[in-house]
């Protein structure tokens, strides 16, 4: 089954690739026209048919691949314990995340206070050195 899922993923990637290439090419080749109308250049574009064929073929391949996947019947009783466990784990992780965010907020506030203190000391030292320099120059 993993092979089929990988093949399906590859087909979806191919479809996205075809669509992006088609849009990019048509956007670069198309000339401006009124909204709701189609320019002659776009109608005569030779690659339009090729892009449409690739997109349609890949879409059909995806449909066929999906139809060949086995049906997996899982009852809600089988899913519920795992869901409840995941929910409990999520709530515990969210609680830890909230605690970490609060700790980080407190640390940031402390760091800002320290940085402000350093800035005040540096400012005071500069003012003191400027005052002592001007006093020594006046003498």
Which candidate, 49, 47, 29, places its Cα nearest to that of 39?
29
Whether residue 25 sits in one domain with residue 63:
yes
Q: What is the mean pLDDT of residues 108-125?
A: 94
Do residues 67 and 20 both lie within one domain?
Answer: yes
For the segment 68-81, what is each residue's pLDDT rounded down to a tens digit?
A: 888 877 888 888 88
Q: What is the pLDDT of residue 4?
A: 84
What are the tokens at 65?
């691949």
Tell me, yes or no, whether 105 and 68 share the same domain: no
Phi, psi of 36 (to 5 degrees): 90, -5
Residues 71, 37: Cα–Cα separation, whole Å: 45
Domain-located, residue 25: yes
For residue 39, give every residue at least 6 positions away whose Cβ sits within 8 Å of its Cβ, in sequence order, or none: 30, 31, 32, 33
Q: Which domain holds residue 109?
A: 100-139
104 and 68 in one domain? no
Q: What are 120-132's pLDDT values in tens digits?
A: 999 988 887 766 6
- Average pLDDT value for the chain: 86
Structural domain total, the chain: 2
CA distance 53 to 64: 16
Least confident of 7-21, 40-54, 87-101: 40-54
Residue range 33-61: mean pLDDT, rounded: 84
Please report the pLDDT score of residue 29 as a whole number.
Answer: 74
Regarding whether 113 and 60 lie in a shared domain, the answer is no
- What is the pLDDT, as a whole number, of residue 93? 96
In a domain, 29, yes or no: yes
Q: Confirm whether 13 is domain-assigned.
A: yes
Q: Provide CB contacts within 8 A for 69, sequence distance 6+.
A: 1, 4, 5, 8
């Amino acid at each position: 089954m993993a092979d089929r899922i990988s093949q399906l993923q590859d087909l979806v990637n191919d479809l996205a690739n075809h669509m992006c290439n088609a849009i990019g090419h048509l956007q670069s080749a198309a000339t401006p026209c009124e909204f709701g109308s189609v320019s002659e250049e776009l109608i005569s574009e030779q690659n339009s048919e090729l892009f449409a064929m690739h997109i349609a073929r890949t879409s059909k391949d995806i449909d066929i691949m999906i139809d060949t996947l086995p049906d997996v019947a899982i009852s809600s009783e089988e899913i519920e314990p795992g869901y409840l466990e995941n929910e409990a784990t999520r709530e515990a992780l969210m609680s830890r995340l909230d605690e970490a965010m609060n700790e980080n907020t407190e640390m940031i506030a402390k760091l800002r206070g320290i940085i402000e203190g350093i800035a005040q000391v540096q400012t005071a030292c500069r003012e003191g050195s400027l005052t002592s320099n001007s006093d020594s120059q006046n003498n």
